Amino acid sequence: MASVKKKLWENNGTFKSNDGIRTASLNFEKGQRTIRQHKGNGFKGKTKTHHQSLDDSLEGELRAFLIDEGALHTYDDLTKVNPVTPTTVLKCLQARYKEKVFYTQAGCTLVALNPFQPIPHLYTLDVMREYHCASHPQEFKPHIFIAAEEAYRNVQGQVEPTNQSLVVSGESGAGKTWTSRCLMKYYAIVAASSSSPKCQDTVERIEKRVLDSNPIMEAFGNACTLRNNNSSRFGKYIQLQLNRSQLLVGASVQTYLLEKTRVAFQAANERNFHIFYQMMKGGTLEQRRDWRMPCDQWFTWLPIADKTVEEDCFEETTDAMTHLGISKGKQGHIFQILAGLLHLGNVSFCPPTNESQPCDLQEKSKESLQNTADLLQIPEELLLSGLRLRALKAGKQSVLLKPCSLAECSVRRDCLAKVIYAHVFDWLVAFINNSICADTSSWCNFIGILDVYGFECFALNNLEQLCINYANEKLQQHFVAHYMKAQQEEYVSEGLEWSFVRYQDNQCCLDLIEGSPTCVFSLLNEECRLNRASDAKQFKARLEKELSDNACMSWDKFSMQPHFTVSHYAGKVCYQIEGMMEKNKDPVPLELIHMLQKSQDSLLQGLFAQHNIEMNSGRGHGKVVTVVSKFKNSLESLMKILHSTTPHYTRCIKPNPDCRPLTFQKEEVIVQLEACGIVETINISAAGFPIRIPYPSFLQRYGLILNSRMWIQSINVNGPEADKDVLSPMVADVLNLVLQSQSLDPSNASETEPCSSLVHCGKTKVFLTHHMLELLEKRRDRVRSQRALCIQCCWRRYWHRKREAQRRALIRIQAAVRAWLIRREILLWHKAATFIQKTWRKWRTAMEVLAETELDDAVDVMEAPVYDPTVRERGSVQLSTCQEPVMLQAWPLGLALASAPNITVAVIATGFQKTLSLIACLKLSFTSLDYRVETNQFEQGVASIRALPQESIKLHLQRSPLLYADICPGKKGDVVTGFNQILLENI
């Protein structure tokens, strides 16, 4: 299991809790069973020891657990199962599989059951985005996307971002290839988001190329076997390269041990590689004509050609090759070479009549030989000579050609096909890497996806199965060493009281295969380096002599065929020795290499232009590189990469051997569970402390709970390598504070080392359960919320004071600006008023002068005399009856109403007389119950006082202001304006 410090920071401190679920640690020593139960609330339960057999002790609990089968499918994590036995685990998986739930968590491992039918809704883009955008994806139901997202977030870790590896293991047909395909698609989607359009185009292009590499690799490297329709016949480790922003910038593919023997040999009811069937079923008529492959053509190396599988899609493969940049011309060369290999398989020989002559070519094979030569662009005579004659070197320069036997001719034919196909496959891998691999400077981390062949055991097993099972043994050892063994050893080194859980360690099997000084591989390589014919019986005898003391090696004494049996972690496999040495040598005759180098096909010639002839010549026994040596070296480099990364395990389980949809066979599943150690993994995860945090990292994350600066000073002064004596008391204070706040009973706690069923302080690390981690996270979140609230209050206060000061400053500035503006405006007003007053005084003076000039003869009277008592009595007088002009008090300018026969003026007082004169002058309509004015001036205007009532009225004015008395610029008619307004203001 990964370091908890990384897991804490890289998962943002979120883990799935096991509230209310009991966990148990089992001790199988001396037939005893010790159960240490503790619930999610942290209270320690009673400890019981039963001195009885395991079956009797578990029988009651099994019945109690399995009685409620309707709720078994709700167990998302198998660590919640109590008791943890193969039976309970199997029952839970069966119940979940019945409910169409195919993913289950088993401690640090994800168990995936193959449904053998498409489940589209599980892998949609919406589901991917949902898991990617979730703040706590662990709270979701188990899914392969949770493991993918956890690895992706671990790369973005705040403390130590490290490379990640997703190890997908399982038997052939368990769904490893499909799982790897889903992982690649997930990362291509979630690691391709970018705000820059240019960067988005680049990421989309890389994403397309990474996804397009998958169908090409499967077409050329997968085949239909007895156990799986899409079985990977090679191992691959895909590195998805990420830049500092965790965006996908490239990828690279490393391949391991291509099963090239499948080109020339297929077991019963098995098929060749997918690409040959794709060409047969998907090629156009024109392409088939170029390949010399008519519709009724039959090929020896294409068995079960009528069987159709989902992977027989030629168009998808060609489209992927086009998107990766393989031109149509290059594709034509590749398919032409593959067609030549199919025709080569139809070439067969018959024994010669004379032993000194080479084997004769069968009549029906002549056309196939001609087609092979034409497609490979090799002269027919040269091809026939290379298949029938082998070169013998005599001296330094002389070369002799010796006829090959019938068996040797078939071997050379198969060898030619295998070496050509292997080079084509390697060329494709190299082209894919050149197309999708990014520069070293542009990426800093990677996420690796390992998809290797599963454990295999057939009726006849040879070198290929030995190498495949050896790779699975190495992966199993990596899992055991990384999680089970390392965890229990760490408990001991840290001083934990731990009841050990037995687990299956396969180191004995690995010592048998690759150990030193003597092992199967070393004896096999030594046998191949000897300059003698291979002898299976002699090699078996040597194995018995050298390795008989190894418990994992055995023999069947009654078998007539030389063989040896190896007890792998997944079961015993019997390997046939016959032909194993020849496959390990994998010799390529010199004349065949020279022949291929002379081909007119540019691609085929380029594939073998740099071929190292010396490595395959057989000269110098120490220089021979065998198949197992190359495979072991490449596998060791892979294991170095895995050890340098944080692994995430996914165990694919095959529910039934016949690949039938939604069919669960207990016998098939239980064998796989026991083989991969799932039950032991669950026991250790449930009973132990899966979370381990070094003291500095613990205080760095949870030290703020103390509300003290001592831990900050300690971390800053001592750094990550602080003394335990300094850090341990602070760690203990943190744990005690959390335990006391949760009303837990730290019964085993001392002053420096609180120890309970939830937590234990080791020498350098703190060991926690998931529940204790959740309590710490909750307390940390609460403290952070309180401090965040305090910071917010301080910030709001500061912000409010700052805004208030800014507001006051703005008010002062605004007041000053407004005062300045008003002063400036008032000054302008004062200046204008002064100018108006000055102009008005000048104009008024001029008007007064004009009025005095016009009214030079007028005399103001203070009161109008009454000439007749009748006027005094009646209050009215008829002007037309007066013999002399009637003098009336008028206003200062001397205006008077011209007399008329019909005028009637009612005079009551001096002030009112003045009002009537004004009304008459301004032509205002006047209606009253007491007074009425009717004068001809309403129609003829105002006359001078000089005009007599008996005569016509004339107005004599020179530049008089009276000309403008009725000028009104306003819109309202009842408003007195103009000069009359001036007069009114002076009344």
177 is known as an active-site residue: yes
Q: What is the DSSP letter of 496?
A: -
Q: Nearest CA to 466 among 505, 509, 427, 431?
A: 509
Q: Could you say which of 42, 157, 386, 454 is catalytic?
A: 454
Q: 172 among the known binding-site residues?
A: yes
Taking CA atoms, 322 is separated from 91, 92, 208, 758, in Å, by 48, 46, 11, 57
Q: How many CB atoms lie within 10 A of CB 75?
A: 21
Distance CA 913, CA 906 (A): 8
3-state secondary structure string across 717-781: HHHHHCCHHHHHHHHHHHHHHHHHHCCCCCCCCCCCCCCCCCEEECCCEEEECHHHHHHHHHHHH
Annotated catalytic residue within 42, 173, 221, 894 = 173
H runs (alpha helix) in 67-192: 86-98, 125-133, 144-155, 176-190
Closest CA to 526 of 581, 471, 574: 581
Catalytic residue, candidates 213, 228, 550, 650: 228
Residue 585 counted as an annotated binding residue:
no
C-alpha–C-alpha distance, residues 123 and 126, integer Å: 8
| Cis? peptide before 517, omega within 30° of 0 | yes
Phi-psi region of 659 (alpha: psi -120 to 50; beta: other; left: phi over 0): left
Annotated binding-site residue? 160: no
* Cβ neighbours of residue 174 closer than 8 Å, sequence gap 6 or more: 112, 114, 454, 652, 653, 654, 672
Separation of alpha carbons 48 and 742, rounded Å: 26
Q: Are 323 and 242 in contact (CB under 8 A)?
A: no
Distances (CA, A) of 280 to 187, 471, 832: 34, 33, 106
Q: Which of 163, 232, 472, 550 is catalytic?
A: 232
Nearest-angstrom CA–CA distance, 842 and 705 = 91
- The three-state secondary structure class of 446 is strand
Q: Could you tell me how many residues make up the chain? A: 987
Residue 173 annotated to the active site = yes
Task: Classify 576 as helix, strand or coil.
Answer: strand
Q: Which of 218, 259, 456, 591 is catalytic?
A: 456
- Diameter of the chain measured on Cα atoms: 185
Are the CB atoms for 512 and 520 separated by under 8 Å?
Answer: yes
- CA-to-CA separations, 864 to 645, 899, 907, 911, 933, in angstroms, rounded: 127, 15, 9, 12, 18
Question: Is the preceding peptide bond at 694 cis, omega within 30 degrees of 0?
Answer: no
Q: Which of 568, 633, 669, 641 is nearest to 166 (CA)?
A: 641
Using an 8 Å Cβ cutoff, are 322 and 215 in contact? Answer: no
The verdict on whether residue 176 carries a ligand-binding annotation is: yes
171 annotated binding-site participant = yes
d(CA 144, CA 398): 63
As a whole number of angstroms, the distance between CA 239 and CA 862 comes to 122
Q: Specify whether 231 is catalytic.
A: yes
Active-site residue, from 231, 616, 714, 980 = 231
How many other CB atoms are found less than 10 A from the CB of residue 133? 10
Identity of the amino acid at 53: S
Cβ atoms of 879 and 888 within 8 Å: the answer is: no
Yes or no: say if 919 and 933 are a contact pair by the CB < 8 Å rule: yes
Give the rounded distance of the alpha carbon of 934 from its chain centre: 103
Contact call for residues 84 and 679 (beta carbons, < 8 A):
yes
* Catalytic residue of the set 109, 163, 172, 616: 172
Catalytic (active site) residue 960: no
Annotated ligand binding at 175? The verdict is yes
What distance in Å separates the CA atoms of residue 412 and residue 464, rounded to the nearest whole number? Answer: 19
345 labelled binding-site residue: no
- Count of beta carbons in the 10 Å neighbourhood of residue 99: 11
Rounded Cα–Cα distance for residues 261 and 101 (Å): 38
Contact 451/235 with Cβ under 8 angstroms? yes
Residue 251: closest CA among 310, 192, 303: 192
Residue 762 appears among annotated catalytic residues: no
Residue 172: both structure tokens together = 């052939």
Question: Any known ligand binding at 834?
Answer: no
617 is catalytic: no
Give the residue numbers marked as catalytic. 172-173, 177, 228, 231-232, 454, 456
Annotated binding site: 170-177
Annotated binding site for ATP: 170-177
